[in-house]
Amino acid sequence: MKWVSFCLFLLANLFFSDGFAQHTILHNDFSLLENRLEQSYFLEFEQQDTTQTTRIEYPSPKSVLYKSLIIPGWGQVVNRQIWKVPIIYGMFAGVGVYTFYLNDQYKDYRAAYYNETHDDMQFGPTPERLVGVNVNQLQSTRNSYRNQRDFMFVVMGLAYGLNALDAYIFAHMRSFDVSDDLSAKTIIQPTLIAEGRPGVRVTFSLNKK
């Protein structure tokens, strides 16, 4: 009987001590889980605040648009695309030079045609290369150069608008990360739902490698 009583006593001690240990471990683990959730919660808000601060640093697309309309190329400088400025002014220079060429040709043919039909030489003397040219040909060529010159004025306006539109669109897209070096990361971690019960949260994010 003594041996039976001693064995029962040992079993009772083991049972109660094991239950107490399990309760302690569960309590400690839950505390660690709660601490980890709190740290993750504050870390998430810090990351959100950092992202918002970074976005504020980008210039307003409207201000970039107005600057490009005032001075062509100014918006590209604000967007840190200075390499586009020589292209813009090269485009303006090319269109301008070609417009002046068409205008000079138009004036020559206009003077030659006018002198063939009038005697007062209102638009100056006839250029030597156009002396003796048929009147109908002079009129047709004059009209052609005039139409081309007028069209180049339209092209100049389109180039001016394209400069502003390019700066405006890039200012909108500048805050987006469009680089090719991106990686996806999925995070599965425990969390607390609104009712205070434990749950699971899944986060999917794109990060640079």
- Map residue 134 onto helix, strand or coil: coil
Q: Does the pTM exceed 0.85?
A: no
Cα 123–92–60 angle (5° rounding)? 140
Would you say residue 86 lies in a domain?
yes
Q: 116 near 127, Cβ under 8 Å?
A: no
pLDDT for res 141: 95
10-residue mean pLDDT series, the chain (209 residues): 49 45 43 46 49 59 92 92 94 96 95 90 90 91 96 95 93 68 61 61 59
pLDDT for res 25: 41
Question: What b/e readout covers 149-169, taking b as 16+ CB neighbours within 10 angstroms?
Answer: beebeeebeebbeebbebbbe
Would you say residue 72 lies in a domain?
yes
Would you say residue 11 lies in a domain?
no
- Map residue 199 onto helix, strand or coil: strand
Would you say residue 64 lies in a domain?
yes
Would you say residue 159 lies in a domain?
yes
- Map residue 200 onto helix, strand or coil: strand
Would you say residue 138 lies in a domain?
yes
pLDDT for res 19: 46
When divided into structural domains, the chain yields a total of 1
pLDDT for res 188: 60
Convert the pLDDT of each residue in 119-136 to its tens digit. Answer: 888 899 999 999 889 999
Q: 64 near 78, Cβ under 8 Å?
A: yes
Would you say residue 107 lies in a domain?
yes
Within 13 Å, how many C-alpha atoms sit on residue 85's CB side? 14
